[in-house]
Chains A and B, each alone.
Chain A
């Protein structure tokens, strides 16, 4: 008898839902800060899936190490992304990604 929350499918389902919310947020919102937060949500979803599958094959630690690297990359990405957002705000006095259209024409 497998109870709720003790099966790999439940965790993968939560990860999939989290990734979907992040992806939709990234596509629908135009505030650069919220878009960056949506990217963080998607990275968290990927991490959750990695750790779930690692729990399924518990003799290895590869998934945990991979998630560790994803966290490091996410921290770097957040710092550089927020620096870009700040620079963009200085240039255009805006935080909306649709106003970054200098290269459009």
Chain B
């Protein structure tokens, strides 16, 4: 039982980190997307280990089901232009920044791993119902109600913004020009004898 837990954590952590490396190191964006999928599923596995079942489900549904699919859609839309050629190499400053960030976090990781007098921090017992949908939902709809409503506004704004951005010019056909006959526009019908024979459609009702 204990061994199973160790193996589970090791496999999940390995999938997460190897997937992340695959995202960054793959030249083909579609491979990056698949690696991102693996990494996200690994994170969902770690959530299960942390007894956060609801978040694990949300992670799989939202990330693996929506975000990665969106990435794949865009990559397929761009086709072979989505990054097949060799990237131009980075200028020196950004390489230095990347190296410094990596070194700083590696240092922090080593400090975390150093043996200390109080040892590692154990998680302890899981309270009943921890991480389930009832506990999270109870918190979400009582103490976090205002941010929850604001999140809906954010999602609406994001949807409208994404549509407005990606629609582009020239994709939507232009609206037909307004009718030239001002009498028809005002009265909604043929007032002039010249229009008597025409049906009251299209131009007349506009």
Q: Give the A-binding residues of B (Cβ under 8 A).
A: 2, 5-6, 8-10, 13, 16-17, 20-21, 23-24, 26, 29, 32-33, 36, 39-40, 43, 46-47, 49-52, 54-55, 58-59, 62-63, 66-67, 70-71, 74-75, 77-78, 81-83, 87-88, 90, 94-95, 97-98, 101-102, 105-106, 108-109, 112-113, 119-127, 130-131, 135-136, 138-140, 143-144, 147, 151, 154-155, 157-159, 161-163, 165-166, 168
Please report the C-alpha to C-alpha distance between residue A64 and residue B135 in the assembled complex, in whole angstroms.
10
How many A-B contacts at CB < 8 Å in the complex?
Answer: 257
Contacting residues, chain B, for A25 (C-beta < 8 A): 20, 23-24
* Contact call A30/B112, Cβ cutoff below 8 A: no
Q: Is the interface of A mostly helix, strand, loop or mixed?
A: helix
Please report the C-alpha to C-alpha distance between residue A71 and residue B61 in the assembled complex, in whole angstroms.
11
Please report the C-alpha to C-alpha distance between residue A70 and residue B109 in the assembled complex, in whole angstroms.
24
Assuming A22-B23, A95-B78, what are 14 further A-B pairs, CB within 8 angstroms? A23-B98, A24-B102, A28-B24, A30-B87, A33-B33, A47-B55, A58-B124, A58-B125, A61-B130, A61-B131, A61-B136, A76-B157, A76-B158, A83-B161
What are 25 A-B pairs at a CB distance below 8 A? A2-B122, A5-B49, A8-B122, A9-B113, A14-B17, A18-B20, A27-B97, A27-B98, A33-B74, A34-B23, A34-B83, A40-B36, A40-B40, A47-B55, A51-B47, A58-B125, A58-B127, A61-B138, A65-B139, A72-B155, A76-B154, A79-B162, A80-B162, A86-B77, A87-B166
Contacting residues, chain B, for A19 (C-beta < 8 A): 105
Please report the C-alpha to C-alpha distance between residue A73 and residue B152 in the assembled complex, in whole angstroms.
10
* Contact call A21/B17, Cβ cutoff below 8 A: yes
Query: Across the two chains, which residue of chain A brings its CB closest to B39?
Result: A41
- Which of A43-97 touch B at CB < 8 Å? 44, 47-48, 51-52, 54-56, 58-62, 64-65, 67-69, 71-80, 82-87, 89-90, 93-96
Q: Is the interface of B mostly helix, strand, loop or mixed?
A: helix
* Contact call A61/B98, Cβ cutoff below 8 A: no
Assuming the contacts A27-B94, A44-B43, A55-B123, asked whether A18 and B77 have C-beta atoms less than 8 A apart, the reply is no
Shortest CB distance B15–A (Å): 11
Contacting residues, chain A, for B131 (C-beta < 8 A): 61, 64
Query: Across the two chains, which residue of chain B brings its CB closest to A43?
Result: B63
Shortest CB distance B18–A (Å): 10
